[in-house]
Amino acid sequence: MRVDLFDFDLPTDRIALRPVEPRDAARLLVVRPHGASGAMFEDRIVRDLPDLLSPGDILVVNDTRVIPARLQGRRVRGEASARIEATLHKREGASRWRAFVRPLKKLKSGEIIAFEGSGTETLDAEVTEKGEEGEVLLSFALAGSALDAAVERIGRMPLPPYISGKRPADDRDAGDYQTLFARRSGAVAAPTASLHFTPEVIAALDTRDIAIEKVTLHVGAGTFLPVKAADTKDHKMHAEWGEVTAQTAKALNAARSAGRRIVAAGTTSLRILESAAEPSGMIGAFSGETSIFITPGYKFRAVDALLTNFHLPRSTLFMLVCAFSGIEAMRAAYAHAIAENYRFYSYGDACLLFPVDGATA
């Protein structure tokens, strides 16, 4: 499909630079597609989510934890040195990470970058491969848990470019950019739909007999890369590691067999569930990488409703929500959100989407 079908204009003042307080006070646009191109919209807040779902529904959240993956350092060559910024995005072994770096042009394979903390601590890494679009493979002097601990000490929260371009990450982001469900370290971007949850919302879900199940997808920085191809068939997705345990798969299959709905909290939860789903709709245990790319025409097998934030134009995530609720319905929903001053992107508001006819198998 043509990528320009997924373009839209967004005023820059709609991009949220901080989350609302409390988190569950974020606005929630409910989108119910109907007919070939129409949709019904309802303006609510995230605190209303339990009442918008049905008793017996299963809400699936992503329990990944964001690591402080943005590193600042220097590349030294003889007497000359240059500032280097790296954003880790995919682990390749005990001591190796793929990273996006800038500036890339003069960086050479074999060079050493000394990443710096707030004190005197440094963390050395060798550039062992130089790829395209700013990507390199870094081999660090430390490995395993020692490397993890060093990154935790010297790294900064990897805020998305549309936020970091307007302000630096600070101590507040260490909590703001982490969900209540964060447990398994490995993401370099937050599963932002779950940023809205509070203990009060979780308690209300429990009261409504809406269970929460956890999956893992370690979100990579590739989620922020623009789709540069003119056609979706020419876009290459970055792979991300995820897991659906056998216990979780069993619980979801039992719910589906009983006629209960599966609601994905975020596109990350949806993508790992769809990666684990069989053509029959049954969900199997899954552990490994997925590069699933969902565009209109895809038949959803595992998910009946989707809670998600508002996404970038021409992005793979906007393509996904268009596949779920229909292109025309989502374009109308985003136009409504812009007109009604909804806040966009990672720290912005949310929408609760229901599928367009034919989107689910």
Q: Residue 35: which residues within 8 A CB-CB, separation 6 or more? A: none
CATH classification of the domain holding 122: 2.40.10.240
Which residues lie closer than 8 Å to 219 by C-beta, 6 or more apart? 62, 64, 66, 187, 188, 189, 190, 191, 240, 268
* Number of domains the chain is built from: 2
Cα 252 from Cα 59, distance rounded (Å) = 10
Task: Tell me, yes or no, whether 338 and 193 share the same domain.
Answer: yes
What tokens were used for 290?
């997925």
Give the model confidence (pLDDT) of 145-186 as tens digits: 999 999 999 999 999 989 988 998 899 999 999 999 999 999
Separation of CA 111 from chain center: 32
Cα separation, 12 vs 231, in Å, equals 26
Q: What is the CATH number of the domain that holds 53?
A: 3.40.1780.10
Contact 201, 45 (CB under 8 A): no
Q: Which pLDDT value is given to residue 36?
A: 57
- In terms of domains, do 42 and 83 share one? no
Please report whether residue 360 resides in a domain. Answer: no
Q: 155, 185, 215: which is the final residue of a domain?
A: 155
State the pLDDT confidence band at 134, using cuts at 50, 70 and 90: confident
Residues 18 and 102 reside in one and the same domain: no
- Same domain for 343 and 206, yes or no, is yes
**pLDDT-based confidence at residue 330 (cuts at 50, 70, 90):** very high
Residue 148, domain extent: 70-155
One domain for residues 210 and 347: yes
The reply to whether 202 and 268 lie within a common domain is: yes
DSSP secondary-structure letter at 156?
B
User: Residue 361's pLDDT is what?
Assistant: 76
- Is 269 a member of any domain? yes
Q: Is 161 part of a structural domain of the chain?
A: no
Q: Tens digit of pLDDT for each residue in 74-132?
A: 987 776 778 999 999 888 999 999 999 988 888 888 999 999 987 788 999 999 999 87
Give domain status of residue 361, yes or no.
no
**Side-chain-facing half-sphere of 116: CA atoms under 13 Å:** 11
Under a CB-based contact definition with an 8 Å cutoff, are residues 217 and 270 in contact? no
Q: How far apart are CA 220 and CA 101, in angstroms?
A: 14
Same domain, 31 and 110: no
**How many H-runs (helices) and E-runs (strands) does the chain carry?**
9, 17
pLDDT, position 104: 82
For residues 120 and 249, membership in a common domain is answered with no
Same domain, yes or no, for 116 and 260?
Answer: no
For residues 43 and 131, membership in a common domain is answered with: no
Q: Is the pLDDT higher at 118 or at 136?
A: 136
Q: Where a domain ends, among 155, 186, 206?
A: 155
Which of the pair, 281 or 105, is modelled with greater confidence? 281
164 belongs to a structural domain:
no
55 domain residue, yes or no: yes
Q: Are residues 148 and 182 in the same domain?
A: no
pLDDT of the residue at 224? 64
Taking a C-beta distance cutoff of 8 angstroms, is the pair 341, 298 a contact?
A: no
Residue 228: what pLDDT? 86
The per-residue pLDDT for range 196-252, each reduced to its tens digit, is: 999 999 999 999 999 999 999 999 877 766 788 899 998 888 889 999 999 999 999
Confirm whether 296 is domain-assigned. Answer: yes
187, 258: one domain: yes
Residue 245, beta-bridge partner list: none
In a domain, 168, yes or no: no
End of a domain among 127, 155, 183?
155
pLDDT above 90 coverage of the chain, percent:
80
